[in-house]
Amino acid sequence: MGSAVSLNNNLLRVTLLSGSAGTVVFPAGQAFNGIRVTNTAGVATLLTSVDIFQAEINFAGPSAISEDVEVCVGERATLSATPAEGTTLRWYDAPEGGTLLASGNSFTSAPLTTVGQTTFFIAVVRNDCEDPIRIPVRVQVNPAPQAADLTITGAGEFCLGETVILTPGLQEGSAFDPAATTFRWYRDAARTNEILDGQEVGGVRFALNAAGELRVDGLAAGDVSFFLSAVSASGCETPAGGLLVANVRVNADAGPPVANANQLFCAINMPTLADIAVSGIGLRFFATIDDLTELPLTTPLVDGATYFISQESAAGCESAQRTAVTVQVEAGMAPVANAVQEFCLTANATLADLVVSGRNVRFFDAPTGGTALPLSTPLVNGMRYFASAETTAGCESVERTEILVNLIDCVANLNLVLAANRTRITAGEDNTFTLEVSNTGNLATGPVRIESPLPPGTQLVNASAGGVVNAGVLVWEVPNIPIGESVFFTYVLGSNVDLPDGTVLANQARGIAATDPRSPVLSNLVNVIVDAAPRADLEVLKTPAAPRVLAGESITYTIRVRNIGNAAARNVLVTDALPAGTVFESASMGGTFAAGTVSWNIAEIAAGGEATLTLVLGIPANTAAGTVIRNVAVANSADDPDGPKENAPDP
């Protein structure tokens, strides 16, 4: 026995009724191994006896016990509590007896598979003594949607390039609220690879909307599975391994059909899409590479248009790629020909004689259809013929050229047109002439003689096409000028340099042909006016200041150099050799004296201009009376073809 513990708190004030019992609880402040019940004063008058039915040791309970724990079915619950000082905790599956599940402050259960409330119990232990009253801890186990609760629409077979759309839902009659249920998609049944909106994995693109609809693009050919789970309002998700699977098969297409990228057709055959050469099965034609509207095979082909062709695989999948075919529809140009063509009655012309420009020309008796005519068909006066031509690809022109044939009497008709390069020249210059001789008749000319007399004062410099001068006449011999054609000649005439100003050079040609009854036929007259050649013409005038001088005096000469020509005289050199018995004293205008000669260099004397020079000579005092002094000045310029010029000698 330990020391007595007194109850001074009046805990025995228990109302005892017939057949009733009371419980007295008191704290133990120290270690003990027994209990003494003492009848205090006054109690004996109340109690005739006291029966003690049970004595229990209640330890201080734990704190911070897990509350409101909820888990999803199949999950483990983790529970915890904080023991009072000096105590430990044990976890049981029953309020009495049962199985000891764990010891310690926390406990993690095995997976809970029963939906509803599951209760675990905590026993407080002190000094290896276990409190017989266990504390219940309740866990709410919520249900999770199972595969049987779920539906998926949209799974199955797809064609390569198609978007796979999988729509989740709940089975009719499911216990879960559709409005409070959300869906999740995974790439595996273990729920380790969740699919997220906007995710891209290996080129495969995923998109999710708020309703959980999954859109998948970029899948390769083959089989692939996607796994659906659902999350209930309580947050419980379909357990891993139990997800609903959506199996998808992506069928490869057969590839694009095979065709030449460029194909040629003749418009006259009115080709359609059905005429395009393409190898494939279940062919479909489109106007653009991504057009969804198929074109009927009866669609007429348009020149330069590109059509896009797909084919179907055995699984019915349209090829993702389309083969582009650009078509050229050649209508062909109708041949070119004069609408009216004339032939000589005596020519016995046939269709082969019609002048038509085109490739592989064919003739018909009607603008469309009709009968093809051989080239040997004789032409009939007033008959209309219709000509077609082929393109280089062999397509006959859709349109035909109409030709009216007239058979007539035929003569040649010469027409000569003469033109001068210049109608005004300077004497001594060359001039170029062009002569066109055409046949505007309806008969080839046969041999033609062309003549052009040379005007007086001219000479032939050169002539084209073998023209030669014979007895002052320039002559060409032409073997033939076909109907409607022309021949051209050019020739150059030189003029005499001394032709007077205003001379008129008259030029005219003539043509002579036996087939032209008008022969000889004259050309137009071309007059060329001659201006005198530009040239300088120097004149030197020299006068003394006085005709007589005394010995020992000076004599002054005035020299006038005039240009009476029609062109400037440049670099004029004026020289004056001093007469014997005179002495140089001075010269104006920069004149210089050297070696007995005075020289002046004048840059230019304009046409009609002049230069005035003075020269002063001294007369020695011993000069004999009556001595005659003769003095000559000379002017020279390359621009004066008649130079040098000098003044008239003194008398």
State the pLDDT at residue 159. Answer: 87
Instruction: Give the mean model confidence (pLDDT) for residues 222-244.
Output: 94
State the pLDDT at residue 27. Answer: 60
**Strand ranges, E, within 319-470:** 323-330, 336-337, 340-344, 356-357, 362-364, 372-373, 384-388, 401-408, 414-420, 424-426, 430-439, 448-453, 458-463, 468-470
CB 248 within 8 A of CB 224: yes
CA distances from 596 to 166, 628, 650 (A): 128, 19, 19
| 334-351 confidence digits (pLDDT tens) | 999 999 998 888 789 999
State the pLDDT at residue 344. Answer: 86
Instruction: Give the mean model confidence (pLDDT) for residues 280-297.
Output: 94
C-alpha neighbours within 13 Å on the C-beta side of residue 173: 1
State the pLDDT at residue 498. Answer: 84
3 state SS for 269-334: HCCEHHHCCEECCCCEEECCCCCCCCECCCCECCCCCEEEEECECCCCCECCCCEEEEEEEECCCC
State the pLDDT at residue 24. Answer: 60
Please state which of the ranges 16-30, 62-76, 191-205, 461-475 shows the lowest mean pLDDT. Answer: 16-30
Query: For the purposes of burial, counting CB atoms within 10 Å of the CB of 478, is it exposed (0-12), middle (13-18) or buried (19 or more)?
Result: middle
User: Rounded to whole angstroms, how far apart are CA atoms 631 and 617?
Assistant: 10
Query: For the purposes of burial, counting CB atoms within 10 Å of the CB of 544, is it exposed (0-12), middle (13-18) or buried (19 or more)?
Result: middle
| pLDDT over 90 (residue 425) | yes
State the pLDDT at residue 30. Answer: 59
User: Rounded to whole angstroms, how far apart are CA atoms 121 and 103?
Assistant: 11
Better pLDDT: 214 or 67: 214
CB 115 within 8 A of CB 98: no
DSSP 589-649: TT-EEETTEEEEEEEEE-TT-EEEEEEEEE--TTPPTT------EEEE-TT-TT--EEPPP
Buried b (16+ CB within 10 A) or exposed e, 322-356: bbebebbbbebebbebeeebebbeeeebebeebeb
State the pLDDT at residue 349. Answer: 94
Better pLDDT: 49 or 75: 75
| pLDDT over 80 (residue 11) | no
Please state which of the ranges 10-24, 268-282, 411-425 shows the lowest mean pLDDT. Answer: 10-24
Buried b (16+ CB within 10 A) or exposed e, 267-299: bbeebbbeebebebeebbbbeeeeeeeebeeee
| 394-405 confidence digits (pLDDT tens) | 899 999 999 999
Q: What residues contact residue 517 under an 8 Å CB cut-off, 6+ apart?
A: 411
| 234-273 confidence digits (pLDDT tens) | 999 999 999 999 999 999 888 899 999 999 999 989 999 9
| 109-134 confidence digits (pLDDT tens) | 999 999 999 999 999 999 989 999 99
Please state which of the ranges 31-45, 266-280, 353-367, 494-508 shows the lowest mean pLDDT. Answer: 31-45
Rg (CA), the chain: 67
Instruction: Name the nearest CA neighbour of 320 among 333, 328, 331, 311.
Output: 311
- Sole residue written with tokens 């062909």: 332
User: Rounded to whole angstroms, how far apart are CA atoms 178 and 210?
Assistant: 13
User: Rounded to whole angstroms, how far apart are CA atoms 58 and 125?
Assistant: 10
CATH code linked to domain 69-142: 2.60.40.10
Instruction: Give the mean model confidence (pLDDT) for residues 308-332.
Output: 90
In sign, the C-alpha dihedral spanning 260, 262, 265, 270 is: positive
pTM tops 0.85, yes or no: no
Helix (H) and strand (E) counts in the chain: 0, 51
- DSSP letter for 379, please: P
Confidence at 5, pLDDT banded by 50, 70, 90? very low
- β-strands 100-103, 88-92: how paired? antiparallel
C-alpha neighbours within 13 Å on the C-beta side of residue 83: 19
- Domain 538-646 in this protein, CATH class: mainly beta
| pLDDT over 70 (residue 591) | yes
Sketch the domain layout of the chain as residue ranges: 1-41, 69-142, 147-251, 258-330, 336-408, 414-531, 538-646
| 142-187 confidence digits (pLDDT tens) | 999 999 999 999 999 998 888 999 999 999 989 999 999 999 999 9
CATH architecture of 336-408: Sandwich (2.60)
Instruction: Name the nearest CA neighbour of 228 among 238, 219, 217.
Output: 238
Confidence at 641, pLDDT banded by 50, 70, 90? confident
State the pLDDT at residue 190. Answer: 94
State the pLDDT at residue 347. Answer: 84
Which residues are paired to 260 by β-bridges?
none
- Domain 147-251 in this protein, CATH class: mainly beta
User: Rounded to whole angstroms, how far apart are CA atoms 470 and 477?
Assistant: 12
| pLDDT over 80 (residue 624) | yes
| 426-484 confidence digits (pLDDT tens) | 999 999 999 999 999 988 999 999 999 999 999 999 999 999 999 999 999 999 999 99
Instruction: Give the mean model confidence (pLDDT) for residues 524-533.
Output: 93
CATH code linked to domain 414-531: 2.60.40.740
CB 649 within 8 A of CB 629: no
User: Rounded to whole angstroms, how far apart are CA atoms 34 and 52?
Assistant: 14
How far is it between the farthest Cα atoms of the chain?
214
Q: What residues contact residue 128 under an 8 Å CB cut-off, 6+ apart?
A: none
Confidence at 10, pLDDT banded by 50, 70, 90? very low
